[in-house]
Structure 1
Amino acid sequence: MSKQVIVGAGQVGSRLATLLSDEGHDVVVVSRSGSGPDGVTKVSADAGDQERLTEITRGADVIYNCANPRYHRWTQDWPPMAASLLAAAQDNGAVLAILGNLYVYGPVDGPMTEDLPLATIGVKGGVRVKMWADALAAHRAGRVRVTELRGSDYFGPGVLDQGHVGERFVPALLAGKPATYLFSPDVVRSWTYVHDVARALAVAGSDERAWGRAWHVPTAPPQSARELAERITRIAGAPRPRVRQVPRVVMEAMSLGSPMLRELRELRYQFDRPFVLDSSDFQETFGQRPTPIDEALAETIRWWRAR
């Protein structure tokens, strides 16, 4: 049994904590609220407090960065948190497994692979590029062992307003009402199942083949939001789906009172053309396949109906 510390108790961090606990590890979940699933040690702390985090992670084999600062505060909150996590891993000799995203690549033509240049065009992407560059430099200098896992838009149990197919989408379809989607529902994109994110992080944290580079989380073949809606209603036995796109002018008006929507402006390119992730490298290296899409959606439907 090893000590595994997860920073962040959100949709991925909590699921990862349960997975690692079920495997017999000593799991500590660190968050501002001190929340987390049953069966693990829960600690309330500011991840940006380097001294405190270093003490909490003493003896840890792996530290997982699953933190999720408020979207409009990335430039203020991420730098001290990322530096604190990296220092704690370095001081304690722990592996640092980072939950990243695809913002780092910027607009691309064709499926995204891990060898693409980090050519982000946005502020938030720049924050994530700096985080990974600092971690990778420390790894190459021999001070720490790091890896990063990148997925596309999440869906699944526990994914609420953070997901484009979350609470504005799935419950409406199950009730026979129009689902709301912020962008064109006919543009093809990749959707990453949250269970697969947790599974991939657990593998990357413990397998030395993962260290020293970034990987893409195993993700099912891409499809549009409309196609996803059709699958959901078929599996659920719900009425034929209707997907309502929010007009751009309405989104602009809504963003005046919503920091989250204002921040989405720089990511518009992800929704105006196909946004496809290639996860074949991780799948072939570690033998982990994405959960079949209908199986993942069935579990998602069961979760929403139980709420």
Structure 2
Amino acid sequence: MQTILGAGGAIGSELAKALGQQYTQKIRLVSRNPKKVNPTDELFAADLSNPADVDAAVAGSEVVYVTIGFEYKLSVWREKWPAFMRSVIDACAKHKAKLVFFDNVYMYDSAEIPHMTEESKMNPPSEKGKVRKQVIDMIFEAIKAKKINALIARSADFYGPGIGTSMLQETVSKNLQKDKAAQWIGGMDFKHSATYTPDAARATALLGNTPDAYDQVWHLPTYPDAPTGREWTELFAKEMNKKAKVSAIPKFMLKILGWFIPILGEVYEMTYQFEQPYFFDSAKFMKRFPDFKTTSYAEGIKEIVARG
């Protein structure tokens, strides 16, 4: 049995599809209201903030994938993430399940953002990043203590068809679709990598089913030729047959808008990622899995626009 905790999100559903196509028909989808992706999926309704529910969901699993996304709010992250990860680690140790954690780049030092690798220094400049580092430290402490085998599958900012949690799509493609100017946080002429969600899911499934991939960090495959904010807009506009209009959102404006639109206030502390080049290097993965095809930005955008 391979189990996905947080199966209903942008990555969880694509991961279930990838697992079902390539690796196993024994897949357990865990969330508050899980829905089948593959005909043979086992649905397991659970409150993942409850350790007893986590334990029951993990029981009988060989591999457990964590793709859950808690509300994007610092107070929620501080309350939910460490407690949840403790219950996941304990359950995996108890039931002898391997752990695959789908991660982001928030724990990296701001000076590492122009060229991030698996060896980049962890020194988070944001409060959300500090929570994320706390969770990563918990996993590696459990590995060191030989309680579990686990791997970190780390993604850049992501984009992909049919998702509503991509900042890139929310501020660029959706605005262009409405004949509005795209909006970009920070400098529009900095390169900015993004990981395509179907690629991320296929790669996470591959890592989870590769025995020697465990007990280390992997950057998920991300097309290397990162566009700038302006070029992202041009790529989307070209595919939509729209004018490539874009305006920058100044950092001070995010803070002001945050009083009225809370999510923008939560983004404020992450603006350092948009005030410099943002390059996510996945060479380690491509060296280990040279036959893996990574979707180009033009191909990914074409698919997003085609699927609405």
Matched, 1:19 2:18: yes
Letter in 1 for 2:20: S
Residue 144 of structure 1 is matched in structure 2 by: 148
Q: Which amino acid aligns with 1:46?
A: D
Structure 2 match to 1:29? 29
In structure 2, the residue matched to 1:7 is 5
Secondary structure (helix, strand or coil) at the match of 1:48 reads: coil
Aligned to 2:66: 65
What is the aligned-residue identity percentage? 27
Deviation at 1:35, TM superposition (A): 4.0
Deviation string 1:248-297 (CA, Å, 9 cap, x unpaired) is 44322210133322222221210111111111001111222421222111
Are residue 276 (structure 1) and residue 279 (structure 2) matched? Answer: yes
**Deviation at 1:192?**
0.8
User: Which residue identity does 1:12 align to in structure 2?
Assistant: I
For the 8 Å contact 1:7–1:64, the answer to whether it is kept is yes
CA gap of 1:66–1:231, structure 2 versus 1, over 3 A, is same
In structure 1, give the amino acid aligned to 2:57: I
Deviations 1:178-216 (A, max 9, x none): 222333322211111011110111011111221111111
1:256-295 paired onto structure 2 within 5 Å? 256-287=259-290, 288-295=292-299
In 1: Cα distance, 2:246 partner to 2:91 partner = 46
Q: Distance in 2 between matches of 1:187 and 1:36?
A: 40
- Structure 2 unaligned regions, length at least 5: none
Residue 244 of structure 1, aligned match among 236, 243, 247: 247
Q: 33-42 vs 127-136, which deviates more?
A: 33-42
Aligned pair 1:125/2:123, yes or no? Answer: no
Matched residue of 1:46: which SS?
Answer: coil
For 1:90, the equivalent position in structure 2 comes to 93
Alignment check: 8 A CA contact 1:154 1:193 kept: yes
State whether residues 82 and 135 of structure 2, in contact with CA within 8 Å, keep that contact through their aligned partners in structure 1.
yes
Residue identity in the other structure for 2:173: V
Q: Which amino acid aligns with 2:142?
A: A
CA contact (8 A) 2:18 2:201 kept: yes
Q: For 2:226 and 2:218, locate their aligned partners in 1 and report how far apart those are by CA, in whole Å.
A: 18
> TM-score under structure 2 normalisation?
0.91
Q: CA deviation at 1:102?
A: 0.5
Letter in 1 for 2:216: R
Deviation at 1:83, TM superposition (A): 0.9
Q: 1:185 to 1:137 in 2, by over 3 A?
A: same
Select 1:134's aligned residue among 130, 138, 141: 138
Q: Indicate the SS of the match to 2:218.
A: strand
Two-structure CA RMSD over aligned residues (Å): 1.8
Q: Is the 8 A contact 1:35 1:43 kept in 2?
A: no
Q: Which sits farther off after the overlay, 181-190 or 209-218? A: 181-190
**CA 1:251–1:36 in 2, change beyond 3 Å: closer, same or farther?**
farther
**Which whole-Å CA distance do the structure 1 matches of 2:260 and 2:238 have between them?**
36
1:174: Cα distance to partner? 4.0
Pairs within 5 Å for 1:37-76: 37=37, 39=39, 40-72=41-73, 73-76=76-79
SS at 2:204 equivalent = helix
- Are 2:229 and 1:225 equivalent residues in the alignment? yes
SS in 2 for 1:168: helix
Q: In 2, distance between residues paired with 1:19 and 1:294?
A: 22
1:166-205 pair list within 5 angstroms: 166-174=169-177, 176-205=179-208
**Structure 1: how far apart are the matches of 2:270 and 2:254?**
13
Asked if residue 154 in structure 1 is aligned to residue 158 in structure 2, the reply is yes
SS in 1 for 2:166: coil
What does residue 219 of structure 2 align with? 216
Deviating above 6 A after TM superposition, structure 1's stretches of 4 or more consecutive aligned residues are none
C-alpha separation between the residues in 1 aligned to 2:77 and 2:216? 23
Which has the larger displacement, 28-37 or 269-278? Answer: 28-37
Partner amino acid for 1:53? V
Shift of 1:74: 0.5
Residue number in structure 1 paired with 2:117: 113
Aligned length: 300
- Secondary structure of 1:275's counterpart equals coil
Change (3 A) 1:289 1:119: farther
Using the TM superposition, give the Cα deviation of residue 302 of structure 1 relative to its aligned residue in structure 2, in angstroms: 0.9
Give the drift of 1:44: 1.7
Q: Give the Cα–Cα distance (whole angstroms) in 1 for the partners of residues 217 and 286 of structure 2.
A: 13
